[in-house]
Amino acid sequence: MAQRTPLYDVHARSGARIVDFAGWDMPVQYSGILDEHEAVRTRAGLFDVSHMGEVVFRGPRALASLQKLFTNDLSKCADGQAMYGCLCRESGGIVDDVVVYRRGAEDLLVCVNAANRKKDFDWLSGHADGADVKNESDEWGQLALQGPAAAGVVQKLTSVRLSSVGTYRFTTGDVAGIPCIIARTGYTGEDGFELFCPPGKAAALWDALLEAGKTENVVPAGLGARDSLRLEMAYRLYGSDMDDDTTPLEAGLGWVVKLDKGEFIGRDAMRKQKEAGVPRKLVGFTLTDPGIPRHGYKVLRDGQPVGVVTSGTKSPSLQTSVGLAYVPSALAAEGSTFAVEIRGRAAAARVVKTPFYTRPR
């Protein structure tokens, strides 16, 4: 039986289309993926992301312990700041990509992917090294209000001055009278907030945000739009674009791997890989022929398979077909060309700069 978030009844009642996602009954769309995508780019959309997991590190060993499990450098993360990075195996393979919310050196919340809740907790608690590691995944509901209108809408419901909460910063406070972690984070490329709240209050918070957002025409949005929004930003999706057999260097996440920060699991393997040369890289590409690239399609060069597409869609904002693919490093430079096999046909593709979509200023 699939798991359900505290908002399942709300989704079902409001006519969302429900699908199975990583063992969760989740809304894939409300009014339609394209509508919701556009709403987030131009106004705001509200997402239920309560399926995400939360693992908390506490105690005097919390920071030191998590530093050894996380590729990015938490000594550069201030209290009240969030930081993106990976958890890696000794091999450098990615256990998960996560966001760490540093509430203090002795209190750090790790937000993990839904599909990896158990795997991550087992991995993290198995390497606790004296820290008190707790799986709080069932103790949090999580809503994401994303889009240019998001801040104005949340501000109507809280006395916290949101202009003082910068990007990738967070604070705590009441929203609609509900105690929340108010984080200026997200997965869409737009300004917005992720609100962590008690699960029993998630439905009340959902209703309050939609009500407060009526004048801005805020809409509920599903996983379909979340996926097209993140892909336009070339944000990686664990399980599609990377897994236990890919390293952050291969996945284009070298910017969150701080090899000089001190010891952490996977560092030696990645240092070796960097010295030897990364054999394949995840690149962003656009199709110059008709068609839509999809996860699993082959990358061809001179008719031979040399790589694989990990994500692809027709970008709703750009109206072009975009995707991410693993290719040999020799083909990874911007402007390199290859083909994507679509139903037996070779569709021409070109490596481009990411993000695919840039917010208008």
Partner 1 sequence: MDFPDDLQYTRDHEWCRVQGKRATVGITDHAQDALGDIVYLELPAVGDEVKKGEAFGVVESTKAVSDLFAPVSGKVVEVNSPLADAPEAINEDPYEEGWMIQIEMSDPKELSDLLAKAAYQKFVEEDAE
Contact residues: partner 1, CB under 8 A: 17, 28-29, 32-34, 224, 228, 290-292, 294, 313-314, 316, 343
Torsion sign over Cα 80, 111, 99, 276: positive
Residue among 359, 335, 60, 327 nearest 189 (CA): 359
Residue 7 CB, shortest distance to partner 1, in Å, is: 21
**CB contact set of 155 (below 8 Å; sequence gap of 6+):** 162
Burial of 21-38, coded b for 16+ CB within 10 Å and e otherwise, reads: bbebbbbbbbeebebbbb
Residue 168 CB, shortest distance to partner 1, in Å, is: 29
Nearer to partner 1, 181 or 234 (CB): 234
Nearer to partner 1, 28 or 234 (CB): 28
Nearer to partner 1, 185 or 313 (CB): 313
Nearer to partner 1, 301 or 314 (CB): 314
Residue 185 CA from chain centroid, whole number: 10
* Cα–Cα distance, 85 to 4 (Å, whole number): 27
Give whole-number Cα distances, 125 to 56, 99, 258, in Å: 10, 17, 22
Residue 268 CB, shortest distance to partner 1, in Å, is: 40
Nearer to partner 1, 180 or 219 (CB): 219
Residue 234 CB, shortest distance to partner 1, in Å, is: 18
Residue 313 CB, shortest distance to partner 1, in Å, is: 7
Phi then psi for 266, rounded to 5 degrees?
A: 100, -10
Nearer to partner 1, 34 or 204 (CB): 34
Nearer to partner 1, 24 or 264 (CB): 24
Strand 45-48 to strand 219-221: parallel, antiparallel, or no bridges (unpaired)?
parallel
Residue among 154, 115, 157, 117 nearest 134 (CA): 117
Residue 24 CB, shortest distance to partner 1, in Å, is: 16
Strand 192-197 to strand 178-183: parallel, antiparallel, or no bridges (unpaired)?
antiparallel
**CB contact set of 189 (below 8 Å; sequence gap of 6+):** 229, 230, 232, 233, 235, 355, 357, 359
* Cα–Cα distance, 222 to 47 (Å, whole number): 6
Nearer to partner 1, 34 or 308 (CB): 34
Residue among 257, 112, 85, 251 nearest 168 (CA): 85
* Cα–Cα distance, 339 to 352 (Å, whole number): 14
